[in-house]
Structure 1
Amino acid sequence: MKKWIYRPHIEGNASRQAHADLPEGTVERELGKEGFFGPATHMYHPRPPTGWKSWEGPLRPRAFDCVRIKPHGHSPWDAALLLHNAALRMRFWTCRESMDHLARNADGDELLFVHNGSGELYCDYGHLAIEAGDYIVLPRSTMWRIDCAAPMQMLLIEATNSSYTLPDKGLVGEHAIFDPAMLDLPRIDDAFKAQQQGAAAARDWAVRIKRRNEVSTVVYPYNPLDAIGWHGSLHPVRINVRDIRPLMSHRFHLPPSAHTTFVAGRFVVCTFTPRPFETDPGAIKVPFFHNNDDFDEVIFYHAGDFFSRDNIHPGMITLHPCGFTHGPHPKALGRMLQQTKPGTDEYAVMIDARDALDIDEAATAAEFHDYHRSWQQK
């Protein structure tokens, strides 16, 4: 356990309660450690701390439009690499037709998030029907393929040399956010048994294995997804964002870490789902300005009305690297204390990465280059 240098102190005109009862005419800025889990200080400013006039240099907020990324091939190893570091590889994949081979990731667990479309996933463990809004966790080296009737778009998040686990839910207990009983598992059902039979099952099957970001191909003279049964506690799981029940407080705006869905070695995956706005008159009702200086923050916008952002549509990604303050856009800030509707209407996937992320060519080619100007008052 870390022994932080810790002595709570109030200086000047400040609120005693974070995210509520701000001094009149001020906005709040949080300076925190360890992604909202460590010590923090709350500053109160007369102007938004995002009121910059100009920006030079490589560090800046970034936005990318995945809708503009052209599909390449029908294998997950053809997917466009967007962001990466030693612990994480984030790709965007348009699966235009059913896979004629099996994929296997030997570099780490794979998390699939289905943005559009639906299909059937077959893997070592059986069959799962998948659709928009599904998370599918595939343990490292699972063999799998997807059958799709129409193109599917997916965000692929690799936990490089690591595993996905569930977050520690602390005082609220194991059944908060989602009960583990809500996790669906692959089944050895009729659909799985059917793909083990007939001419398609008798042909050669290629397994494309990714290891150290290079792909090797192993060919079988039969379909290797031929299990007749299994037992154990290692297996893929699926949950849909509709089944996630967010933590809420009507008197206090909770930080993004309250919405953690999966935890990997050097990053976490959080999910934003619709929820009521805070009702306490003094509580802020938008994300607070913050310096999340131990993490790079990535958000993939899946569906709905993204209440803290302007000019963002489904399929876009924002990257807020550590080193500067970020928070709501001006239009959202105008509703800091009073909203015009009872709750949020958004689904988004957030990744907090402990190590700096590199931006790859596919993301740069789909970048909205003036995103850093979007905080400037019109």
Structure 2
Amino acid sequence: MHWIKGRVTRQAHVDIPEGTVEEEFGRRGFFGRVSHLYRTHAPVGWTKLEGDLRPHAFQTLELPGLSGDWLEGRVAFLGNADVTLHLAKLHTPMPYFFRNADADEILFVHRGEGRIETDFGPMAYERGDYLVIPRGTTYRLAPSAETAMLVIESADEVEIPPRGVLGNHALFDTDVIEVPEPQPPEEEAGRTEWQVKVQRQGRISTITYPFHPLDTVGWKGDLAVWRLNVRDIRPVMSERYHLPPTAHVTFLMKSVVVCTFLPRGLETGDPGALRVPFFHNNIDFDEVIFYHAGDFFSRAGVGPGMVTFHPQGIHHGPQPGAVAASKTKERTDEEAVMIDSRRPLELTPAAQSISFPDYWKSWMAAK
């Protein structure tokens, strides 16, 4: 069934009726049933917002407790039963190895470079890398330059989404994915013990070995640690229609979606096409965006390392002036990681302590 009532446009996101703004009211994070509402006022034009529904913004690099230790110093800022988000800093190689028995991990390298040593072998890492680590993998990070990482812990398996009619080589060809090659571990004269710290049910156990735990000499199969850099992701674009965030999905879990926003051409093929994100209120998903680099032109006042958090049930979209400013832009210059969670996320005390108290006001007077 499909209904058309009142004053609308024939094509969503194009030729929005004069004097109105468009809101996308949709289910399943832009995958499901949808209606478009044409309002005379922006739904973010509030003057007061009370309660815990308000959106948040904060600088993750300023989270308290970022000590440089991989376990004690990676600080959680949002989470639920499906996913936990951390920011971690490392200055020196980890003195121990780590195995997460609770979750798959996606490590996004915000800055720095170095080496990750794993059960499957070692790999170099650099800025802009995604490192995907299956649950149960033993690994160690050895930075050669100060490293800051966004850590996404997923209770469900991390997978690559199907590309459908776009074909298997859309977004990125799987040939660009890198996996480790086994190498003999480096000799350490006089060392007789190696420790592996294992996380299970959120608690840490320590296993001590009289030999180096990463002693794999060969492996085969389709489950491994792998690396993907954002420069190898090729965004899907449309000159005449503003694509939803789901067009930029990089990783898919049962209840969590991870998207990568990258520099791309804007909708210059039709003067009536919307060039900024449409208003929406996250009916089924909480939305988190980690800003990595560039200029996120639909939102003022954000910079590298910052996070915005928009919970289900409250509108968001372009801030005042963003629509007018977009009329002269032909490309975006943004790099960001978006994490959408079906179940509501909770801010940790560490994140609450640095949340910008007036972020919710940044939409006021939007037209």
TM-score of Structure 1 vs Structure 2, range by shorter chain: over 0.9
Mapped to 1, the partners of 2:229 and 2:336 lie a distance apart of 12
CA contact (8 A) 1:159 1:265 kept: no
- Partner of residue 149 from structure 2, selected from 154, 170, 185: 154
Mapped to 2, the partners of 1:115 and 1:362 lie a distance apart of 20
CA contact (8 A) 1:196 1:226 kept: no
Are 2:201 and 1:215 aligned? no
Are 2:81 and 1:108 aligned? no
CA deviation after TM superposition for structure 1 residue 68, in Å: 1.1
CA contact (8 A) 2:266 2:331 kept: yes
Mapped to 2, the partners of 1:341 and 1:16 lie a distance apart of 25
CA deviation after TM superposition for structure 1 residue 168, in Å: 1.4
Are 2:332 and 1:344 aligned? yes
CA deviation after TM superposition for structure 1 residue 73, in Å: 4.0
- The residue matched to 2:110 in structure 1 has which SS? strand
Distance 1:359 1:353, change over 3 A: same
5 Å-filtered alignment, 1:91-130, equals: 91-130=86-125
CA contact (8 A) 2:108 2:129 kept: yes
Summarize deviations over 1:51-89 as a string: whole Å, max 9, x none. 001111111111121121241242235310111101101
Aligned to 2:321: 331
CA contact (8 A) 1:84 1:358 kept: yes
Summarize deviations over 1:21-67 as a string: whole Å, max 9, x none. 11112211010000000111111122211100111111111112112
- Partner of residue 264 from structure 2, selected from 265, 269, 275: 275
Aligned to 2:363: 375
Aligned to 1:353: 341
CA contact (8 A) 1:111 1:138 kept: yes
- Identity over aligned pairs, percent: 48
5 Å-filtered alignment, 1:1-378, equals: 7-70=1-64, 71-160=66-155, 162-188=156-182, 192-193=183-184, 195-199=185-189, 202-279=191-268, 280-335=270-325, 338=327, 340-377=328-365
Distance 1:314 1:73, change over 3 A: closer
| Residue identity opposite 1:38 in structure 2 | G
Supply the RMSD in Å over aligned alpha carbons: 1.3
CA contact (8 A) 1:285 1:335 kept: no
CA deviation after TM superposition for structure 1 residue 322, in Å: 0.6
Summarize deviations over 1:165-215 as a string: whole Å, max 9, x none. 111111101100001111110112xxx42x342427x43111010000000
Mapped to 2, the partners of 1:105 and 1:77 lie a distance apart of 14
- Structure 1 consecutive aligned stretches of length 4 or more whose deviation exceeds 6 Å: none
CA contact (8 A) 1:196 1:223 kept: no
- The residue matched to 1:76 in structure 2 has which SS? coil
Q: TM-score when scaled to structure 1? A: 0.94
| Residue identity opposite 1:299 in structure 2 | I
Mapped to 2, the partners of 1:170 and 1:248 lie a distance apart of 16
Structure 2, unaligned stretches of length 5 or more? none
Mapped to 1, the partners of 2:239 and 2:30 lie a distance apart of 19
How many residues are aligned here? 364
